[in-house]
Structure 1
């Protein structure tokens, strides 16, 4: 995006874009409202016109990431070849590829939850929880379509592997963990087909 098109964006949208860049890169506690306003090219007064508080801005930051992230997982799943087990593994393979990018900083939802662990009632915590539940629900629905036994339980197991991979990669800076988690997820899903032959 060039500078001109950025300036032409509404102020509220520019603030959300700036929050996305800064909060994801540096963390929510490390970034001040002044820094977000400066990055967005607006005054602090303008920022507070659109957002009552930094807490509201943090919540909007996660809200803006919700649907794009879910859509990305869906695209990775749908574009992969094979059965549901292969498609689940593909999500982890693509996640590993993303994690190898130098600008990757982990899962924005998990990092925010870690920073707000002592504030369970924070609106951002609720948004993060809803996002994770939405992914789990979507996965369970796909598994149900494919005739997988206990689709909700299998979806939950895959989510545990995924969030474990996110956390472990962040600690070790090693994307191989996502690929290993993908192989484990594939085995779990494949086994859930029971006696059905691999398709």
Structure 2
């Protein structure tokens, strides 16, 4: 579909997504987003009342695609829940080796908005992390893993921890190490009949 025929709101969010992920929310102006979308700033503000709303829309647009991607990695992996969880980390490490990979957009945005806990994007990020945790706990329940909610929370901590350390070291080996730790945690909570 030609760019001029795509819905305007979608064009704006796509432009914002590319710029925010590549450069960070603080470094990208509304003017730059409007230019990338091929629109006027006035048109952008017709669809979004503020840059804050656009930041929230950017993250909201990443929620389901990110969850679907992680679920796909989990489902595609062979073996028990330990291997499936480790596959999420292995795939994240592979993605992190790409030169355009900039880490978790949710965490990067939260870091930029740390002094604004009520920001709408923080709420979107919180919902995303909770959705992932809930999904993972459900998967663990299907595998008869003990304390699935607690284990899902521990895995989220490992994922977000490796995302954070990647911002400093830029070394995907940390993601691989977190994956091994996650698999060990899963095995420790897997009933003996599943081991």
Where do 1:38-57 residues align within 5 Å?
Answer: 38-57=35-54
Matched, 1:195 2:192: yes
Which residue of structure 1 lines up, in the alignment, with residue 72 of structure 2? 75
Q: Any gaps of 5 or more consecutive residues in structure 2?
A: none
- Deviations 1:157-187 (Å, cap 9, x if unpaired)? 1110000011111210101110110000000
Question: Is this contact kept in 1: 2:144–2:191, CA < 8 A?
Answer: no
Matched, 1:105 2:102: yes
Matched, 1:128 2:125: yes
Matched, 1:5 2:2: yes
Aligned Cα RMSD in Å? Answer: 0.9
SS at match of 1:118: coil
Shift of 1:7: 2.8
Query: Could you state the TM-score of these two structures normalised by the residue count of structure 2?
Result: 0.98
- Which residue of the other structure, out of 159, 163, 177, is the alignment partner of 1:180? 177
Which residue of structure 1 lines up, in the alignment, with residue 21 of structure 2? 24
Further displaced range: 4-13 or 179-188:
4-13
Matched, 1:158 2:155: yes
Q: Any gaps of 5 or more consecutive residues in structure 1?
A: none
4+ residue runs of structure 1 moved beyond 2 angstroms? 4-8, 194-198
For residues 48 and 114 of structure 1, what CA distance do their matches in structure 2 show?
25
